């Protein structure tokens, strides 16, 4: 273990988050739901979407844009679809409600397609798509999302703009950010837990965090990650103005990533009637309801060709046995890096956090008058 | 008009294709369906998927891997889903059957999710996703597809391999092609025909044709389009071995494009039980059934927030009015380039084909003893 990190057990971290939420008078089951999702993010190695974002949830609740209690409402429903009002509840509460409904519908008629408006930020998209794996369902998930924590880092750097925080991604040919990083997540069950496919990707080339890290290290970034305020691709992260869509510039098919970002926008805010890009609230505007749109789809493979699970496992094994260009970097399937991280956590008895994260958490503990984080003694 | 091109009216081109199919004893309605799809490809400016591919369909029919008559079979069905056997019929016949069924289901219960096995190549994916636009439905389409015509071009070039023709796309870190170019198409209706969103994209960085054209012109290609047989990215198209997925190399997030290619594979062959990558027939193996998997999804926006059409038009207008980096290249929405091409065709009274395409067609006319193509006199 690195000296600048500490290990915290999963249960301790969940209790810590629940305890803060209890001090804010959040419904205990909502608090538990948030803790579960955020700690799953960290456990899977997606630290940007875990404990890291706790302050956003706290501020939204404190300023009243996120509600502490209540339930999402079904506004319209068929056997296969539902349109939901998230009623500005915590994102994980809305997400879990919608995904459970989609799973129920998929069991009944093969497909459940659920779209929510009035939702909030809710951690890793993969959490929801993975909810269907134990049911042996195939799941797709789209969210119009805001990258929040990373923007905060940005605002501390000179020459970095943090106006127009919510839109990050510039459509091909545009010099202004328009879409969020609009992620897509798809999970598909296999015959072994180790072969489950879990894709969870932003439709931008990279997350803003990668540009930010390069800036901090005073390193160049590859041309094609981002543009300056004139719309030119940059290699100096100090000139950052907007991210490019997956594919990068137009000549390497960035218009495809732009199309995927638009697809996510259509499946979420346009279908659900929530706030549409580029008019999503600024990340600092915690008093304004985020009104995020989210789309959850569950698919029952039993309605199609028998043997889905086995074909998934075979596909995974086939891919992993492809000849790699570099023998030290074998071909992986989506979900493998996260499985590796979880194994490491299991071996260590908990999640390894950077010391700064622990310090931030213990400042919150002091502020909310709760127990500080108990770390695992590794001597 | 360029001197090395000729204009053919849409009706003349449709009759030409139907007449060849009639000589092959193909069911007249199947022949008409193929003609409609191929000519729509050309009309929209996607010449690689139109008349250009006629020889593939002819060979498949002549060698018995594609059947001349019959209907697809519904193997399993719920109110929202269907699993179809395409019975090795012409791709457009299977595609139209599936899409009509998905539309019917979406009208009834909000969603229609139809997966076919035993299908064949069927022209532009956008044709099927656009079928739902007049019904004001939102449509998604996935196909596991083979790039055929372009491989044929390849085989005429020195140093170009055309073995392993069907798999083209190398998973991240792999040095061998595995997936096809696995395209995704999504169409969404707006309140004006001019604002309809039509995305139709391969999940590789570029089509093989772009590498081929660069090779012919003895030009370099951008690093990140393709790899050589050692898995290294190339700038000399002569060293081509496989295409990279959208995003390119791993450091510019090619694993996202790889994930999207896998997603298409899962929604098509894994769900439908058809031939799975990398075991799709070689393009020259016209005697082997292609057994392609295809997935068609129709979504009824009426089941979600009212006002979908207007929000789509507003999104389109918002995007088009974004400040462009280069004032001569305004921001477009997906579907705009095709609309521009169709307007040009309408103005000219037909589709402008390269003279070599006309010559190829007239060789076929001679072979099948039908009328040669009547071109429009433009003097």
Model confidence over A226-276: pLDDT tens digits?
999 999 999 999 999 999 999 999 989 999 999 999 999 999 999 999 999
Verify whether the Cβ–Cβ distance A110 to B113 is below 8 Å: yes
Counted across chains A and B, CB pairs separated by less than 8 A come out at 255
Is residue B261 within 8 A of residue B247, CB to CB? The reply is no
pLDDT at A151: 24
What is the average pLDDT score of chain A?
88
Residue with tokens 């429903």: A77
- Alpha-carbon gap, residue A235 to A219, rounded angstroms: 9
What is the average pLDDT across A152-173?
Answer: 51
For the purposes of burial, counting CB atoms within 10 Å of the CB of B4, is it exposed (0-12), middle (13-18) or buried (19 or more)?
A: exposed
Instruction: Measure A228 CA to nearest chain B CA, in Å.
Output: 10
* Whole-number Cα distances in Å, A99 to A66, A132, A139, A145: 20, 8, 9, 17
- Is residue B330 less than 8 Å (CB to CB) from chain A? yes
Alpha carbons B101 and B80: distance in angstroms, whole number? 10
The residue among A205 and B123 whose pLDDT is bigger is: A205
In the prediction, which pLDDT does B140 show? 63
What is the arithmetic mean of pLDDT over A304-309? Answer: 95
pLDDT of residue B139: 65
- Nearest-5° angle of CA B160, CA B355, CA B162? 15
The answer, for A134 touching chain B at a CB cutoff of 8 Å, is no
Q: Is B101 on the interface with A (CB under 8 A)?
A: no
Low pLDDT (below 50) residues in chain B: 144-165
Q: Is A273 on the interface with B (CB under 8 A)?
A: yes
* pLDDT score recorded for residue A287: 85
Q: Which of B298, B343, B354 is nearest to B43 (CA)?
A: B343
Within 13 Å and on the Cβ side, how many CA atoms surround B212? 18
Give the length of chain B: 379
Residues A238 and B275: their CA atoms lie apart, in Å, by 49
Give per-residue burial for B167-187: e unless 16+ CB within 10 Å, then b: bbbbbbbbbbbbbbbbbbbbb
Look at A342 and A145; give whichever has higher pLDDT: A342
pLDDT, position A221: 92
Give pLDDT, residue A131.
84
Neighboring chain B residues of A244 at a CB cutoff of 8 Å: none
- Residue A157 CA, chain-centre distance (Å), reads 24
For helices B28-43 and B91-109, what crossing angle results, to 10°? 80
Between CA B264 and CA A173 the distance in angstroms is 27
Beta-carbon contacts of residue A274 (< 8 Å; ≥ 6 apart): A116, A117, A118, A119, A144, A268, A291, A292, A293
Nearest CB among A138, A171, A325 relative to B232 is that of A325
- List all residues 6 or more positions away from B271 whose beta carbon is below 8 Å from its beta carbon: A138, A299, A301, A304, A305, A308, B115, B293, B295
B chain contacts of residue A113, beta-carbon cutoff 8 Å: 110-111, 299
State which residue of chain A sits closest to B188, comparing Cα positions.
A266
pLDDT at B155 (0 to 100): 26
Q: Collapse the DSSP code of A239 into the 3-class scheme (helix H, G, I; strand E, B; otherwise coil) and give the result.
A: helix
Span A287-291, average pLDDT: 87
Q: Does B24 touch chain A (CB under 8 A)?
A: no
- Chain A residues with beta carbon closer than 8 angstroms to that of B315: 262, 265-266, 270, 276-277
Instruction: Give the residues across from A83 on adjacent strands.
Output: A76, A115
Nearest-by-Cβ selection for B304 from A265, A271, A323: A271
pLDDT at A164 over 50: no
Does A24 touch chain B if contact means CB atoms closer than 8 Å?
no
Which two three-digit tokens encode residue B125?
């994916």
A 344-373 residues inside an 8 A Cβ radius of B: none
Q: What's the predicted TM-score (pTM) here?
A: 0.92
The alpha carbons of chain A give a radius of gyration, in whole angstroms, of: 21
Going by their DSSP bridges, the two strands A81-85 and A111-119 should be labelled as parallel
Q: Provide the CB-side half-sphere exposure for A168 (13 A, CA).
A: 31
Residue A181 has pLDDT above 70, yes or no: yes
With 0-12 CB in 10 A as exposed, 13-18 as middle and 19+ as buried, what is A366?
A: exposed
User: Would the CB atoms of A331 and B307 count as touching at under 8 Å?
Assistant: no
**Average of per-residue pLDDT across A286-302:** 90
pLDDT at position A331 over 50: yes
How far is the C-alpha of B106 from the C-alpha of B112, rounded, in Å? 5
Structure tokens at A36: 């579960």
For residue B310, CA distances in Å to A138, A270, B316, B322 come to 32, 9, 10, 19
CB contact A172 to B (< 8 Å): yes
List all residues 6 or more positions away from A347 whose beta carbon is below 8 Å from its beta carbon: none
Task: Say if B71 is an interface residue toward chain A (CB within 8 Å).
Answer: no
Residue B49's H or E segment, with its range, is none
Q: Measured between alpha carbons, how far is A72 from A92 in angstroms, rounded to an integer? A: 11
Residue range A110-115: mean pLDDT, rounded: 93
Q: Are strands B138-143 and B292-299 parallel, antiparallel or unpaired?
A: antiparallel
In the predicted model, what is the mean pLDDT of residues A70-97? 97
Q: Where are the alpha helices (H) located in chain B, listed in sequence order? A: 10-23, 28-43, 54-62, 91-109, 126-130, 149-155, 208-216, 254-265, 271-272, 308-320, 336-348, 355-367
Query: What 3-state class would DSSP assign to B103?
Result: helix
Please indicate whether, in this complex, the C-beta atoms of A176 and B322 are within 8 angstroms of each other. yes
Residue B228 has a pLDDT of: 96
What's the Rg (C-alpha) of chain B? 21
Q: With 70 as the cut, is the pLDDT of residue A89 above it?
A: yes
Q: How many CB atoms lie within 10 A of CB A4?
A: 9
Instruction: Give the model's pLDDT for residue B124.
Output: 83
Cβ of residue B331 closer than 8 Å to a chain A Cβ:
yes
């Amino acid at each position: 273990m690195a000296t600048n990190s500490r290990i915290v057990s999963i249960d301790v971290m969940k209790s810590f988050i629940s305890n803060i939420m209890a001090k804010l008078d959040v419904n205990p089951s909502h608090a538990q739901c948030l803790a579960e999702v955020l700690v799953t993010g960290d456990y899977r190695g997606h630290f940007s979407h875990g404990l890291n974002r706790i302050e956003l949830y706290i501020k939204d609740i404190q300023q009243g844009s996120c509600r502490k209690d209540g339930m999402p409402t079904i506004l319209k429903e068929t056997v296969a679809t539902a349109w939901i009002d998230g009623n500005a509840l915590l994102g994980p509460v809305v997400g879990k409600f919608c995904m459970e409904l989609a799973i129920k519908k998929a069991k009944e008629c093969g497909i459940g397609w659920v779209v929510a408006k009035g939702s909030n930020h809710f951690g890793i998209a993969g959490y929801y798509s993975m909810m269907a794996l134990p049911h042996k369902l195939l799941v797709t998930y789209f969210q119009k999302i805001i990258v929040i924590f990373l923007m905060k880092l940005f605002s501390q750097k000179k020459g970095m703009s943090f106006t127009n925080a919510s839109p990050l991604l510039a459509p091909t040919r545009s010099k202004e950010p328009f879409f969020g990083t609009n992620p897509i997540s798809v999970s598909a069950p296999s015959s072994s837990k180790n072969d489950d496919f879990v894709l969870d990707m932003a439709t931008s080339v990279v997350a803003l965090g990668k540009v930010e890290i390069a800036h901090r290290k005073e390193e160049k970034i590859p041309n094609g990650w981002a543009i300056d305020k004139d719309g030119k691709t940059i290699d100096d992260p100090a000139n950052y103005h907007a991210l490019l869509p997956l594919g990068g510039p137009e000549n390497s098919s960035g218009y495809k990533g732009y199309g995927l970002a638009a697809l996510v926008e259509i499946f979420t805010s346009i279908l659900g009637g929530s706030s549409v890009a580029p008019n999503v609230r600024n990340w600092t505007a915690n008093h304004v309801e985020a009104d995020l749109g989210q789309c959850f789809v569950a698919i029952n493979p039993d309605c199609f060709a028998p043997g889905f699970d086995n074909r998934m496992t075979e596909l995974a094994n086939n891919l992993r046995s492809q000849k790699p260009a570099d023998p030290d970097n074998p071909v992986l399937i989506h979900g493998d890096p996260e499985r590796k991280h979880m194994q490491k956590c299991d071996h260590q008895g908990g999640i390894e956090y950077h010391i700064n994260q622990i310090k931030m958490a213990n400042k919150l503990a002091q502020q909310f008058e709760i127990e500080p984080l108990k770390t695992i003694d590794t001597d």
